[in-house]
Amino acid sequence: MASLWSEISLRETGAMTGVELITLGIDAADQRLDRWFKQRYPALSHGHLQKLLRSGQVRLDGKRVKGSARLEAGQQLRVPPIGEAASAPQSSRQKTPVSRKDAKELQERIIYKDNWLIAIDKPAGLAVQGGTGQSRHLDGMLEALRFGSDHVPKLVHRLDKDTSGLLLLARHGGAARLLTAAFREKKAQKIYWAAVAGAPPKPRGVISLALAKEGAPGQQKMKGSEDAKPAVTLYREVARRGRKVSWLLLMPLTGRTHQLRAHCAALGAPILGDGKYGGAAAFLDRPVLPGNLMLHARELALPHPEDDTTLRLTAPIPSHMAEAWEILGFDPELERDALHDLLDYCANFV
């Protein structure tokens, strides 16, 4: 079940009118408006909601909207007074206190902190949000990053559980709104490191493959689909070991679920350790490498929400990838020239 922060990242309640202006979080993305209301206001009848929609009392980014509308993170939803019965809590579960060990480890992973945001180096294996059978996750530890603030930090984007690297947290509602908008409007530039099986057909290129979720719940994968939303990734090969393993820099221009993993597999070069998309080809017999997913959110650049100046952040390479790079003989210093080339290439797509 989605957590409250993911549904309401900024809430302003009119003292006299009772109107809520709700900035939608990342969990609202691609959800139908009527289903969002059903989760948030379980006692609100379908008929009553339709009446609110027809009369224009519910508005999305200031405009009238239908219940079938698909939501996007960062949109602002106007909700009129609905009543205490309809807005009953989604869950009576109490939050589990953050252990001292988890709090200490999380605080030690802070890369950057100011009054607006916190950037952490998320470890591989830590889920960002809870789900079926997932009791330990970052969302449940955010209280440890309050640092005396009146607000618990809010996630503004996601990484897969097994992907390591840079993750941003907004320290208050205003920051959440601006940071979420930066990701939605493609103002955030993301660079990933990946070790892949085999080699791409060209040392530099673009992967343009629309992706849609397919499969039964719990077994879903992203697959190419003409009817899906566009998904675009730029890549640059940095080094390779024969035709067996390559080190790639990846720059996603869109933000679809599992985009980099699905795109690399479609390229014929699945990310090492990614059995979901690469199958047996994602694991090498020789040389023997750590079995973790070899995907790391290395760099992030975006406008700072306070003054719009560019904030550039870098996450250190995790131990399992550092070990793999040493085994493969990849020199981390090669990143610089390859990154400049990739950024020049990116200029053709902006």
Could you list the active site residues?
160
Residue 259 near residue 211, CB atoms below 8 Å: yes
* Amino acid sitting at position 50: Q
The single residue listed with the structure tokens 């998309």 is: 277
> Is there a cis peptide before residue 287, judged by omega within 30 degrees of 0?
yes
**Three-state secondary structure call for residue 142:** helix
Nearest to 69 by CA among 111, 22, 36, 23: 36
Q: Please give the helix or strand (H or E) that residue 4 lies within, else none.
A: helix 4-7
Residue 303 near residue 187, CB atoms below 8 Å: yes
Residue 164 φ then ψ, to 5°? -100, 165
Cα-atom radius of gyration of the chain, to the nearest Å? 21
